[in-house]
Structure 1
Amino acid sequence: MSLSDANATSPTGGEPSYLPRTAAVVAGPARTPAAAVTAAVAAAASVFPVVSTTSPAERRRWLDAVADALDVAGGELVALADEETALGEARLRGELSRAAQNMRYYAAAGESGAWLRARIDTVEGPPRLDLRRAELPIGPVAVFGASNFPFQFGVLGHDTCSAVAAGCPVVVKAHPAHPRLSVRLYETAARALASAGAPAGVLSLVVGFEAGLALVDAPPIAAVAFTGSQRGGMALVERARRRPTPIPVYAEMGTVNPVLLTPAASHRAERIAEEFVDSFTLGAGQFCTKPGLMLAPRGSGVVEAVAGKVRAAQGGWLLTQGIAAAYRDGLRTLEAAGGRMLAAGPEPEEGYAARAAALLVEIDDLGEDSPLLEECFGPVALVAEYGDFDEALKAVARLRPSLAACVHGGGEGDPDLVRAVAELAGRVGRVVVDGFPTGVATADAMHHGGPWPATSDPRATSVGAEALRRFTRPVAFQNVPDAALPPALRDGNPWRLPDRTER
């Protein structure tokens, strides 16, 4: 969120709702006063003992009910999302469908109990010890969703679903890029949760910049999940650190994701360039996984191919006035830092428009402190050429760590591909071969995170079954009577956890 977004006002004094295609600002929902934030957090705290000890199978039923409600309300939700984001109905229909699928995935992952990592050991004495250990829910979670994925990373996105599946009530802060949609999503979920018998307080919503700050400060909040810019994420990390009781902030932030072509991939330069441009312009370039830098062999034809594709690429609308202004400023910064405009495409004439652009940069100018490696949120990417592959790997070693990276090579027999994967694996959270990272599959083996500055905690993922672990902490119980143990560790395995280990 930019400062201009945070301080904007709608015609009625509530949270402004932007219409990217026309630049109009219409009345949005009322901002949540401090007392109401306190009440929402208190409700989450009061219901935590119930939610955390409700069986994962019952929590699955809650989440499945919300997923069903999303399916039913799809037409209304997509129309509202398109009005506030200009991402297009086709894209948004697909995203809403995946959001419902994700919800069912996390519901099933929660029911499996694998995230609890329940362990029971007997240590012969004297004295004889009965040791039982599990990862238990930590408490109410504050969620700050993303601007660019209103369904999959919004009010009912990955963070909310994984937290509830792990037994933690959630208080979500509505995103200023789509506040009316945020409210409608919450209302849809609240009705479904109530009909499924979930206790009131398992999910709440607050609106407004000040409400978000109060949410982080609220003593019962045990963790924060955030998706957005580095500036926003680190502001939350610092605020949470200054609390009397500091709490973790799992921030997934913006980075420049590199694409590396080995010399053996040169014969596919035209096709790779086409897919590269398609990827970094998808959704007007508003993806945290957007490929932002291509390193290609000099003379491979990649530069010319990228330029031709960009000139034909249609522009799009960015989500808010602040994001559009930051994009224009970002392009100027890249050019001032030595980037030369390679090609630019057409753009819409109205609203928060942005044109596709590619800049040519010198590989020696790529360094950790270079402005060339600052994320420019929008449909822009850099291209650099290298002379030999060692030069390319040295440049990779100077890049800031990121969420993902791609290597295009000559197959299993390409030794440069092997070297590239090894180098990149130490600097990113996901390595893609012969593809692009724009899509993130919701699967057990997925890791959507990365070393600093990609995320605030490189061990955490915001996508996949491991996402539940962010909202737990390990507790060991020694010689504790069965009735006093959490259900996951009791004799008889009342939750019927298939992954419980007993020795």
Structure 2
Amino acid sequence: MITGKNYIGNTLKASGDKTHKTINPRLNIQNQTAFYEATSDEVDEAVELAWSAFKIYRKVAGVKRAEFLNAIADEILALDQELLDSYTSESGLPEARAIGERGRTVFQLRSFADLVSNEDWRENTIDEAMPERTPIPKDDLRRTLIPLGPVVVFAASNFPLAFSTAGGDTASALAAGCPVIVKAHAMHSGTAELVASAIIKAAERTGMPNGVFSNIMGRGRTVGVKLVKHDKVKAVGFTGSISGGRALFDIASQRKEPIPVFAEMGSINPVIITQKAIENRSDNIATAFAGSITMGAGQFCTKPGLLLTVEGDGTDQFKKDLAKKTIAIAPQYMLHPDIKKAFVDNVNMVSSQAGTEVVGKVEKAIDANEGPSQITSVSGKEFLANPKLHLEAFGPFALVVKAKDQEELINIINGLDGQLTGTIIAEKEDHPNLHDVIDALENRVGRIIFNGVPTGVEVCPSMQHGGPYPASTDSRFTAVGTNSIKRWVRPVSYQSFPNALLPCALKR
């Protein structure tokens, strides 16, 4: 049952007087429950509880943490239709999407449970003493990874389950041994509270300390800023806008003790399509990318927002076909009226720039919060000269850029901001000419896709979901997959330690 209250550890609280309501994008009305913004005292209490819990939780054996994570997955499934109904009413997304995202959330939790059920993930290394070594004896050295401390997770707007309350950031931090305080996204506060209740039940069921998890709400930035400034918070996970992520990064870096902010932010995910590919399978490529551009109303961080080609006989026809197929797909509801407005504003900004051509857009009347698809094009020369054309439009929109030759294409890639993904659509005969393209993409993106679409992020050890700034604040780390646990730990070496005092995994 949704109460509208904050989980401060395992206690529901609502001490303040500031409230907000979520919006049903399909009906364009407010949902019924009022949600209470956490007070300053409640924020402090949540962090203090997390700090006390950390002293215990950091030493909980991996097999017990695995039990906890699996119990969270079980409790989320037990929420059943109530969770699905809350998800759809707050996001405008269909129930099928809710079921799929719930499955991914459960899979992530179980994947991290499997990971920490043994100690291999800690990358333990042991260099035994060599007292007889000359001219200098060698001491015994042993190294492991230990958790950082309480982690604040900012829930994402576009994934109410998989990147939110019990999403990848929370699952990986809990797996690492870090208590988590979630700043729920105001757009899906009810869904957040339901999932939080599942986590609390799982914590109590498996004997985890009170404070290992809290879920707090606040519509503006006040609550989030206070959390990041708190001296007992040791790391931050964020998925959202460049402005929001950068603001938190700056706050964290200005603390007396700076802390890491692992933020996944903006990306237009460039796609390079060769002329050979257009000549051989233009229709198939247009179909695939029309689906990718409009999937989930284009509200995916890996949506292809920039398609790069070189001038050729089939280029103009390809972009017309892409536009036709894109706008033929039925408009879908966007997550919130504010997101719809921002999308429309950004599309208009890009499409009003000199040299742009609107190749196709949805002209028919649509519901208030549906996203109108659009394809715009511009020359490579104009794109290079105008930074406004690099703007991300979070929704069903893509910009097709036609470079005059391969050299200009490479210059365009080199001039891009950091991106989550880059895609190459090419034929076998193109392979000898792709090395420069690959080299350029490697310096701009975190994941390169060959002959596929970038939407869809596999949860596995080889996934890299992160890239050079502003795709993320630290391109060395991923926000998806089991290696994302590395964000919440740091290495410690033990030199010449008595065996009895060593961590269990390092004992002789």
Superposed pair shares fold, TM > 0.5 = yes
Residue 239 in 1 paired to residue 256 in 2?
no
Structure 1 position 368, deviation (Å) = 8.3
> What is the aligned counterpart of 2:288 among 266, 275, 286?
275
Structure 1 position 437, deviation (Å) = 0.9
Rounded Cα–Cα distance in structure 2 between residues aligned with 1:402 and 1:333: 21
Rounded Cα–Cα distance in structure 1 between residues aligned with 2:324 and 2:338: 30
Rounded Cα–Cα distance in structure 1 between residues aligned with 2:118 and 2:363: 50
The equivalent residue for 1:99 is 105
Rounded Cα–Cα distance in structure 1 between residues aligned with 2:240 and 2:430: 39
Residue 286 in 1 paired to residue 299 in 2?
yes
Cα separation, partners in 2 of 1:57 and 1:346, compared to 1, 3 Å: farther
Residue 310 in 1 paired to residue 323 in 2?
no
Q: Is the 2:320–2:360 contact (alpha carbons within 8 Å) kept by the matching residues of 1? A: no
> What is the aligned counterpart of 1:218 among 230, 236, 243?
230
Rounded Cα–Cα distance in structure 2 between residues aligned with 1:368 and 1:19: 41
Rounded Cα–Cα distance in structure 1 between residues aligned with 2:45 and 2:385: 44
Rounded Cα–Cα distance in structure 2 between residues aligned with 1:415 and 1:69: 52
> What is the aligned counterpart of 2:449 among 424, 432, 453?
432
Rounded Cα–Cα distance in structure 1 between residues aligned with 2:430 and 2:91: 45
Structure 1 position 128, deviation (Å) = 4.4
The equivalent residue for 1:184 is 194
Q: Is the 2:302–2:455 contact (alpha carbons within 8 Å) kept by the matching residues of 1? A: yes
Rounded Cα–Cα distance in structure 1 between residues aligned with 2:379 and 2:290: 19
The equivalent residue for 2:482 is 465
Rounded Cα–Cα distance in structure 1 between residues aligned with 2:268 and 2:165: 26
Rounded Cα–Cα distance in structure 2 between residues aligned with 1:29 and 1:378: 27
Rounded Cα–Cα distance in structure 2 between residues aligned with 1:240 and 1:346: 45
Rounded Cα–Cα distance in structure 2 between residues aligned with 1:203 and 1:311: 44
The equivalent residue for 1:18 is 23
Cα separation, partners in 2 of 1:121 and 1:215, compared to 1, 3 Å: same
Deviations for 1:461-497, whole angstroms, at most 9, x for unmatched residues? 1111210110011111111222322233223xxxxxx
> What is the aligned counterpart of 1:376 among 389, 393, 406?
393
Equivalent pairs, count? 480
5 Å-filtered alignment, 1:43-62, equals 43-62=49-68
Q: Is the 2:379–2:402 contact (alpha carbons within 8 Å) kept by the matching residues of 1? A: yes
Q: Is the 1:44–1:140 contact (alpha carbons within 8 Å) kept by the matching residues of 2? A: yes
The equivalent residue for 1:487 is 504
The equivalent residue for 2:11 is none
Q: Is the 1:409–1:416 contact (alpha carbons within 8 Å) kept by the matching residues of 2? A: no
Rounded Cα–Cα distance in structure 1 between residues aligned with 2:365 and 2:110: 38
The equivalent residue for 1:263 is 275
Cα separation, partners in 2 of 1:413 and 1:379, compared to 1, 3 Å: closer
Cα separation, partners in 2 of 1:242 and 1:84, compared to 1, 3 Å: same
Cα separation, partners in 2 of 1:374 and 1:60, compared to 1, 3 Å: same
Rounded Cα–Cα distance in structure 1 between residues aligned with 2:305 and 2:430: 27
The equivalent residue for 2:88 is 82
Q: Is the 1:60–1:107 contact (alpha carbons within 8 Å) kept by the matching residues of 2? A: yes
5+ residue gaps, structure 1: 1-11, 492-503
The equivalent residue for 1:9 is none
Structure 1 position 82, deviation (Å) = 0.5
Rounded Cα–Cα distance in structure 2 between residues aligned with 1:141 and 1:47: 12
Structure 1 position 363, deviation (Å) = 1.2
Rounded Cα–Cα distance in structure 1 between residues aligned with 2:328 and 2:386: 32
The answer to which of 75-84 and 25-34 deviates more is: 25-34
Rounded Cα–Cα distance in structure 1 between residues aligned with 2:121 and 2:486: 6
Residue 136 in 1 paired to residue 146 in 2?
yes
Rounded Cα–Cα distance in structure 1 between residues aligned with 2:433 and 2:366: 45
Q: Is the 1:311–1:344 contact (alpha carbons within 8 Å) kept by the matching residues of 2? A: yes
Rounded Cα–Cα distance in structure 1 between residues aligned with 2:201 and 2:249: 33
Rounded Cα–Cα distance in structure 1 between residues aligned with 2:201 and 2:491: 33
Q: Is the 1:18–1:320 contact (alpha carbons within 8 Å) kept by the matching residues of 2? A: yes
5 Å-filtered alignment, 1:436-455, equals 436-455=453-472
The equivalent residue for 2:260 is 248
Deviations for 1:218-266, whole angstroms, at most 9, x for unmatched residues? 1110000000110110010011112121111000001111010122212
The equivalent residue for 1:498 is none
Rounded Cα–Cα distance in structure 2 between residues aligned with 1:388 and 1:332: 28
The equivalent residue for 1:170 is 180
Choose between structure 1 and 2 for higher RCO, CA contacts under 8 A separated by at least 6 residues: 1
Look up the SS of the partner of 2:19 in the other structure. coil
Structure 1 position 74, deviation (Å) = 3.0
The code of the aligned residue for 1:265 comes to A
The answer to which of 90-99 and 71-80 deviates more is: 71-80
Deviations for 1:329-378, whole angstroms, at most 9, x for unmatched residues? 10121022233211112566333222111111111122386111111111
The equivalent residue for 1:329 is 345
Cα separation, partners in 2 of 1:382 and 1:413, compared to 1, 3 Å: closer
Structure 1 position 411, deviation (Å) = 2.5
TM-score, length-normalised on structure 2? 0.91
Q: Is the 2:331–2:366 contact (alpha carbons within 8 Å) kept by the matching residues of 1? A: no
Residue 30 in 1 paired to residue 36 in 2?
yes
The code of the aligned residue for 1:335 comes to S
Cα separation, partners in 2 of 1:280 and 1:114, compared to 1, 3 Å: farther
Structure 1 position 320, deviation (Å) = 1.7
TM-score, length-normalised on structure 1? 0.92
Q: Is the 1:118–1:489 contact (alpha carbons within 8 Å) kept by the matching residues of 2? A: yes
5+ residue gaps, structure 2: 1-16
State the superposition RMSD in angstroms: 1.7
Structure 1 position 413, deviation (Å) = 5.9
The answer to which of 412-421 and 53-62 deviates more is: 412-421
Rounded Cα–Cα distance in structure 1 between residues aligned with 2:470 and 2:334: 24
The equivalent residue for 1:403 is 420
Q: Is the 1:366–1:398 contact (alpha carbons within 8 Å) kept by the matching residues of 2? A: no
Rounded Cα–Cα distance in structure 2 between residues aligned with 1:348 and 1:134: 60
Cα separation, partners in 2 of 1:362 and 1:412, compared to 1, 3 Å: closer
Rounded Cα–Cα distance in structure 2 between residues aligned with 1:367 and 1:216: 37
Rounded Cα–Cα distance in structure 1 between residues aligned with 2:211 and 2:320: 56
The answer to which of 308-317 and 140-149 deviates more is: 308-317
